[in-house]
Amino acid sequence: MNSVLLAIILIPIIEIYLFIKIGSQIGAFNTILLIFFTAIIGVYYAKYEGLNTIRSGFMQIVKNQTPAYEIISGAAIAFAAILLIIPGFATDFLGFLLILPITRKLIFGNLSNKFKKQEYKKNNFIDGEYEDIDDNNDRKI
């Protein structure tokens, strides 16, 4: 079965289960408040981390380095913000994991290191072709 289709089916089932379990423990009104609270806090924190990532990316560009981790991190923060906006406890948990810099570094650190290793393999040579020109065929300007 396609993994996207499986995720579309399983995520709402997990969220509904968690709504019922947590709602029965803390009450329906508190559950709704908690969902709104995590969405608001998460979006503001995503904005803060996104601006830090942009700042760090510009610093990498100024140092003439490829901002590989910053690009991956920015995409992860955008995805985390979407997960935090979607109502649910499982998506909020995954969203907060992706927004926190420590867990983001653990998850995507190896991926960005692969891009940086490819950058160091590049040579600073310019390829080109040349042709010897006889003095008799030179044009005088």
Mean of the pLDDT values across residues 51-67? 90
pLDDT at 140 exceeding the cut of 60: no
Q: How far apart are the first and last CA of the chain?
A: 72
Q: What is the pTM of this model?
A: 0.73
pLDDT: is 58 or 139 the higher one?
Answer: 58
Contacts of 80 (CB under 8 A, 6+ apart): 42, 46, 94, 95, 96, 97, 98, 99
Return the amino acid letter for 64: N
Q: How far apart are CA 34 and CA 14, in angstroms?
A: 17
